[in-house]
Amino acid sequence: MAATLDDKLVVAISSRALFNFEEENRVFNDSDDRAYVELQRQRIDIPAAPGVAFSLVRKLLAFNTTEHQRVEVVLLSRNDPVSGMRVFRSCVAHGLPMVQRGVFTQGRDPFRYLRPLGAHLFLSANEADVREALHLGYPAARVLTESVRAGDSNPNEVRIAFDGDAVLFSDEAERIYQAEGLAAFQRHETDKAAQPLPDGPFKPLLAALHRLQHAGGTGMRIRTALVTARSAPAHERAIRTLMDWDIAVDEAMFLGGLAKGEFLREFEPDFFFDDQTGHVNSASLHVPAGHVNSGVSNPVTLLAD
């Protein structure tokens, strides 16, 4: 019987999201792909340093046991196969031998392979790839490679924080806010408090984490947080939506427009997802952060013919 990724939480991740390849990337940007490949050849036996999403990947893989493989991490990268060999060697050097699958496209679009993988999450430093993945319906975020890396204070707990509107939920309410202002937004959400918000791009990931949390048997656990600019009375619709999904979050922060960064610093997530660049940039000073290029705050720019 062929191998299958069914019933696993599948994370597809680029090389730059998992490891620190910023120096190599500068060579690529300042020179050409041949100089980049040659540098990777020279460093093939030198493990790359852990990157922004390393802690998240390492902890998720800790849910696997000899009897049950619950999480699959697949390298999905624009790198060439030679550079891919260095990435796999870096995985082994840093204690991630379970990362055994990878697709290296040598500059071509990698996001098309999300479909056969059945990915629940795609993390990449490439904004265009993330945008296309979201368009195809996969939870995806552009990793801010300059983000602070996660600490080691919660070794047995995967901590993930999500924004609400345009991330876990649709951008329906955010459109009201941007078009008509705060008062109209509050009225809209109060009037529709009992009506669940439509699904956002990251609802499938939250649902997959919920299933993983209830698998048990590894000593690992998942702690999630909703970190939103909403405040009372608009908080109620967000909570009722989660209740309708039958998915609970461990913490909810209704910040009413306060900067999220310092609150996230206290929560200590292994990753934070938000659709607004201002919030993501603020968060990246304190925690690993990713931009979700979704919703009304991220209009699609059309190129002229």
Q: Which two tokens stand for residue 111?
A: 């996001």
Q: Which two tokens stand for residue 228?
A: 């939103």
- Considering only CA atoms, give the Rg of the chain: 19
Q: Name the residue among 25, 55, 90, 34 with its Cα closest to residue 269.
A: 55
* Catalytic residue annotation: 163
Residue 93 one-letter amino acid = A
Return the sign of the alpha-carbon dihedral for residues 48, 50, 56, 62.
positive
Cα separation, 202 vs 290, whole angstroms: 12
Give yes or no for a contact between 170 and 241, defined as CB atoms under 8 angstroms apart: no
Cα separation, 203 vs 174, whole angstroms: 17
Tell me 149's DSSP state. Answer: P
